[in-house]
């Protein structure tokens, strides 16, 4: 099965730049796509200093639903947003003050990859952190999702004025240019050994995480969904949802997690109506439970509902769900500028056409 490769190199323009992220892309681009992917054939998507987080999310979402192996190479820098203190990948227009709206929230990556079969996804990371995010990450590991292989490093803020170099990712690319892709753990070790003399090894946070062993219920569900057995996948998730509701209560995080999984499964099955309804249910439940409108899980639920609502082909069903989404959007504006106005505009068009 063809592999998919996403090359993402991002850093702010100007004085906020900590790393010359895009300098690694020519080296990675010189590697044959099958070697980057570890498959016989592969599709490669390259994002060099992207401007908008939604554009990155669109590319990531498309890559996440590809059926074959997925390898994501990310080079860039991390900042904490000033409201929630959550890690963000800075993009071209990001500054420390605006990263909440101009950067890519790191938890978006884990959310998009969470339903991929364990072992089918690899994240290769070469990240630099500013002072605040460096202190944060020393005690709170970067969350990339439970089913993903994560290898790489996070470097502290560079001590000099000039941006640092992505030496780990360049070492990975140089090793792959030989035309051979060793097992990823060996590639990781070889890259670390190559950069040891010039990088802050012993200071850098080394990333090395692997998917859970077989038996995790998410693996069985993801495998069924990827094989096109969508009804079976939803039934399995519904069974775990019922268990969580019985054990922990209907508003518990455990139960809401499985409802979110079912919303994702509906999306994978090509059923935006069911997916939108389910995400709206999750958002309402979280708000009713007292969660803040700007909590990541609340924003994510409304954003997913909005995305799926925009994919509904039946005008009558879109008109039915639109007012519910609009009410939630009024309470949860999210990070996408003009999101509420977008719902207003589309709903007016639907009502006129109806």
Evaluate if residue 233 carries a pLDDT over 90.
yes
Q: Is the pLDDT of residue 354 over 80?
A: no
Span 311-319, mean pLDDT? 92
Is the pLDDT reported for residue 259 higher than 90? yes
pLDDT category at 43 given cuts 50, 70, 90 is very high
Band (pLDDT 50/70/90 cuts) for residue 215 is: confident
Note whether 196 and 219 are within 8 A (CB): no
Compare 116 and 184 and report the one with higher pLDDT.
184
pLDDT for 203 equals 78
- Mean pLDDT, residues 115-130 taken together: 91
Q: What is the pLDDT of residue 198?
A: 65
CA distance 345 to 187: 50
Residue 105: closest CA among 121, 82, 81: 81
């Amino acid at each position: 099965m063809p592999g998919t490769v996403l090359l993402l190199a991002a850093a702010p323009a100007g004085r906020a730049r900590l790393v010359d992220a895009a300098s690694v892309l020519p080296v990675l681009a010189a590697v044959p796509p099958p070697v980057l992917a570890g498959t016989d054939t592969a599709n490669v998507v390259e994002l060099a200093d992207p401007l908008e987080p939604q554009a990155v999310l669109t590319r990531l979402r498309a890559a996440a639903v590809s059926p074959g192996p997925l390898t994501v190479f990310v080079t860039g820098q991390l900042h904490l947003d000033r409201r929630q203190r959550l890690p963000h990948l800075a993009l071209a227009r990001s500054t420390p003050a605006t990263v909440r709206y101009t950067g890519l929230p790191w938890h978006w990556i884990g959310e998009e990859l969470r339903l991929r079969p364990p072992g089918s996804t690899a994240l290769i990371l070469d990240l630099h952190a500013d002072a605040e995010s460096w202190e944060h990450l020393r005690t709170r590991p970067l969350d990339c999702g439970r089913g993903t292989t994560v290898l790489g490093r996070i470097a502290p803020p560079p001590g000099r004025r000039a941006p640092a170099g992505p030496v780990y990712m360049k070492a990975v690319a140089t090793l792959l240019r030989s035309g051979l892709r060793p097992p990823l753990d060996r590639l990781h070790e070889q890259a670390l050994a190559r950069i040891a003399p010039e990088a802050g090894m012993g200071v850098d946070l080394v990333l090395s995480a692997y998917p859970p062993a077989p038996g995790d219920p998410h693996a069985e569900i993801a495998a069924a969904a990827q094989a096109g057995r969508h009804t079976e996948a939803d039934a399995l998730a519904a069974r775990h949802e019922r268990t969580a509701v019985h054990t922990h209560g209907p508003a518990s995080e455990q139960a809401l997690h499985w409802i979110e999984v079912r919303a994702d499964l509906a999306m994978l099955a090509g059923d935006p109506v069911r997916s939108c309804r389910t995400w709206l249910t999750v958002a309402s439940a979280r708000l009713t439970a007292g969660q803040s409108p700007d909590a990541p899980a609340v924003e994510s639920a409304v954003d997913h509902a909005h995305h799926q609502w925009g994919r509904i082909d039946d005008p009558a069903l879109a008109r039915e769900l639109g007012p519910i989404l609009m009410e939630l959007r009024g309470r949860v504006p999210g990070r996408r500028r003009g999101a509420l106005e977008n719902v207003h505009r589309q709903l007016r068009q639907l009502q006129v056409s109806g």
